[in-house]
Amino acid sequence: MVSIKQDIRIGFYVCHCGHNIASMVDCPEVASYVEKLPGVVLSRDYKYMCSDPGQELIQKDIKEFDLNRVVVASCSPLLHEHTFRTAVAAGGLNPFFFHMVNIREHDSWVHTDRKEATAKAKALARAAIRRVAHHKALEVKQVPVNPDVLVVGGGIAGIHAALTLANAGKKVYLVEREPSIGGHMAKFDKTFPTLDCAACILTPKMSSVGAHENITLWSYSEVVKMDGYVGNYTVMVKRKARFINEDLCTGCQECVANCIYKEPKFTDEFNEGLGKRKPVYIPFPQATPQVVLIDPDVCLNFKRGVLTDKCKKTCVEACGDRKAIDFKQKEQFTEIKVGTIIVATGFQTFDAKRVLPYGYGVYPNVYTAMEVERLVNASGPTSGEVILRDGRQPKAIGIIHCVGSRDKKTNRWCSRVCCMYSMKLAHLLKEHTGAEIYNFYIDIRAPGKGYEEFYDKLNEEGVHFVRGRVGEVTDWGMTPEEEGKLVIRVEDTLAGFVRRIPVDMVVLATGLEPQADAQDVRRLFNMSCGTEGFFLERHPKLAPVNTFTDGIFIAGCCQGPRDIPDTVAQAGAAAAEAMVLIDKGHVEQEPNTAYVLPDCCGCKSCLPLCPYTAITFDEATKKAVINEALCKGCGTCVSSCPSGSIAQNLFEDEEVFSEIEGVLAD
């Protein structure tokens, strides 16, 4: 029998959580069992402890029965620890005289035997009763929040989040790895279902970002390191060498016109490789910032990226007194301090070559949807005229949906936007070419405002919809009409037979997938990824822009495929969540920090172990000192101190050992 200090008076509450716990755990039995344990003054079971009456019950009991410790056995502390600590404090006790037991996620939800689940609940309760007796009164400390925000990624999500914050008066750093902000949306021709021009609605926002006094825009830059904690992050940004002094470049592009290469010769990334650019270039007319850059891999003044200085440098001549070109520019590293971070790093499109039967990369007239966006765009490589790679104009076009989506062999998820953008492209291609358009779909997914109506409109326009997953795109013909065409072989599941449809052009509606370096970014910002590789939100319904790291938020397609309206909504939400922290001005930190006992012999072995550099050495006293503001309570120093001279609040030896004894006792 374990003795408990005379003055300890514990109140115990076991929650039914409706049927969630009560269906698998005999709550009244747990309550009557705990009642007999030493130190327990009262023990109750109640239907919903988190309800107002449940909380009031705790407050009333504290006063009436002179309780000085409280244990609640219910759900995960992640959900309601704060609720009950507040109730305990309202009852007049220090909130840390409370301990919570998880008998739902850890017990009732994961077991199927009522008797054993009840026994487990008793054991967990017993451990908590023994532990809570050793709890000490602790203070919650407040740490100020740096009001500056870092937004990573300059697509529509990052742009919208940055502008929202900046318009509210917050200072924002917007870091984008490409030479210009704009992301995928800048490449789109029109947006569904309204068919407004993507550039017309995006570029005003882009120039606002460029001109905003509260936004520091760093394009062609990447975050390489992040340290610190919520409210106080230190971030290292790599600013890649663009060989142009951004402050001096006026965006006149005379260097481009006067480049030693008279004609554009190199793959134009912005036009998906359909067009050409020069070694010195601006990615697209509305690029923000309006600053050129030099590609050292193809510029004649470099050889394999190394400066040789062997070109005539007609660009420098053209730049003249502006002196913006700097071939000696090196990448720079800048450290910034922010309180909150919004990660909006977007997606990549599925590599169409991975679906071999569709012939992308084999047949020149098979295109990806992104390529077609550029092909129909007025500022695209053909000025908006749909001319195929072999110079012909298409008379029949097939659009294949779900390429790299809803497919066990590649990506299992629905990419959400492809049905709609396929229909948008069908409309645009019909408008540009007058061709017969065939959509090959599994299901049409048009669940948005005006989306189903858009589908109806396409049907009225005479676009064909064939329900069936395409088997292959091939060039073997059975009839004279098929010769020289691409033949789409598909089982038409509505007509019930296999069809061969000859077309001139095939468009593959490639799906959305996580960026290739999503795992690196995840590690950089201490986030988690779901199984498919998109960043994981804290709660799929109730905390969709939060991550498991406080102060770090996610927005846009880095969290999962979504369209522009949803992305913008989510970016606004992330900005609002950041403002919650900024405007409150401080964050409360769990007092679960470590502290040094007087026995410290000054061996310094803990110093290099601390991942948060919270430990310093006091030369005067020859002892280690822990900075409470920096300590995150990981316990590394506690367990590694050779003389046992470091302890940790809420994890004192007697608390942990009595908990272990309690769970093992009969």
Partner 1 sequence: MKYSYFPGCSLKGLGRAYEESLLPVMKHLGVELQELDDWNCCGATAYMAVDEVKACVLAARNLALAEKSGLNQVMAPCAACYLVLNKAKHYFHDYPAMKATMDRALNAVGLHYSGDTPVRHPLDILLNDVGLEAIKQKVEKPLKGLKVATYYGCQIVRPYATFDDQYNPTTMDRLMEALGATLVHYPLKTKCCGGSLTGTLPEAGIRLVYILLNEAKKRGADCIATVCPLCQFNLDGYHSQLKAQYGDVLVPTVYFTQLMGLAFGLSDKELGLNRAAVPFKWRPPLPAAATPVPA
| Sites of contact with partner 1 (CB under 8 A) | 356-357, 359, 362, 472, 474-476, 478
* Minimal distance, residue 389 CB to partner 1, in Å: 16
* Minimal distance, residue 348 CB to partner 1, in Å: 23
Nearest alpha-carbon partner for 12 in 77, 58, 50, 53: 58
* Minimal distance, residue 457 CB to partner 1, in Å: 36
Q: Smaller CB distance to partner 1: residue 359 or 591?
A: 359
Nearest alpha-carbon partner for 312 in 244, 258, 256, 250: 258
CA distance 378 to 197: 11
CA distance 547 to 528: 8
* Minimal distance, residue 497 CB to partner 1, in Å: 14
State how far Cα 271 lies from the chain centre. Answer: 27
3-state SS, residue 623: strand
Q: Smaller CB distance to partner 1: residue 484 or 565?
A: 484
CA distance 485 to 365: 10
* Minimal distance, residue 362 CB to partner 1, in Å: 8
Q: Are 551 and 229 within 8 A, CB to CB?
A: yes
DSSP letter, residue 546: B
Q: Are 397 and 506 within 8 A, CB to CB?
A: yes
Q: Smaller CB distance to partner 1: residue 111 or 469?
A: 469
State how far Cα 550 lies from the chain centre. Answer: 13
Q: Smaller CB distance to partner 1: residue 273 or 357?
A: 357
* Minimal distance, residue 408 CB to partner 1, in Å: 14
Q: How many residues does the chain have?
A: 666
Q: Smaller CB distance to partner 1: residue 140 or 362?
A: 362
* Minimal distance, residue 472 CB to partner 1, in Å: 8
Q: Smaller CB distance to partner 1: residue 140 or 356?
A: 356
Q: Are 222 and 264 within 8 A, CB to CB?
A: no
Neighbours of 323 (CB within 10 A): 11
* Minimal distance, residue 391 CB to partner 1, in Å: 20
Give the CA angle between residues 491, 493, 495 to the nearest 5°: 95
Q: Smaller CB distance to partner 1: residue 363 or 612?
A: 363
Distances (CA, A) of 635 to 535, 612, 640, 663: 27, 11, 9, 22
Q: Smaller CB distance to partner 1: residue 359 or 404?
A: 359
Q: Smaller CB distance to partner 1: residue 476 or 657?
A: 476
Q: Smaller CB distance to partner 1: residue 482 or 492?
A: 482
Q: Smaller CB distance to partner 1: residue 29 or 482?
A: 482
Q: Smaller CB distance to partner 1: residue 144 or 484?
A: 484
Q: Smaller CB distance to partner 1: residue 490 or 554?
A: 490
DSSP letter, residue 95: G
Sign of CA dihedral 63, 66, 67, 68: positive
Residue in the block written with tokens 């054993």 = 116
Q: Which two tokens stand for residue 421?
A: 């953008």
* Minimal distance, residue 489 CB to partner 1, in Å: 10
Convert 469-506 to b/e letters by CB count within 10 Å (16 or more is b). Answer: ebeebbeeeeeeebeebbbbbbeeeeeeeeebbbbbbb
3-state SS, residue 529: strand
Neighbours of 557 (CB within 10 A): 32
Neighbours of 113 (CB within 10 A): 10
CA distance 212 to 82: 39
Neighbours of 190 (CB within 10 A): 21
User: Amino acid identity, residue 188?
Assistant: F
Q: Smaller CB distance to partner 1: residue 457 or 500?
A: 500
* Minimal distance, residue 80 CB to partner 1, in Å: 47
Residue in the block written with tokens 């007058």 = 434
List the 340-343 sheet strands across, edge first: 215-218, 172-175, 149-152, 340-343, 552-554
* Minimal distance, residue 506 CB to partner 1, in Å: 14
* Minimal distance, residue 83 CB to partner 1, in Å: 51
Q: Smaller CB distance to partner 1: residue 359 or 551?
A: 359
Which DSSP string do the residues of 228-251 spell out, in sequence order? EETTEEEEEEEE---SB-TTT--S
Q: What is the dihedral of CA 255, 260, 264, 265, to 10 degrees?
A: -140
* Minimal distance, residue 482 CB to partner 1, in Å: 11
Q: Smaller CB distance to partner 1: residue 359 or 633?
A: 359
Which DSSP string do the residues of 389-432 spell out, in sequence order? TTS---SEEEEEEEETSS-TTS--S--SSHHHHHHHHHHHHHHH
* Minimal distance, residue 490 CB to partner 1, in Å: 16
* Minimal distance, residue 123 CB to partner 1, in Å: 39
* Minimal distance, residue 366 CB to partner 1, in Å: 12
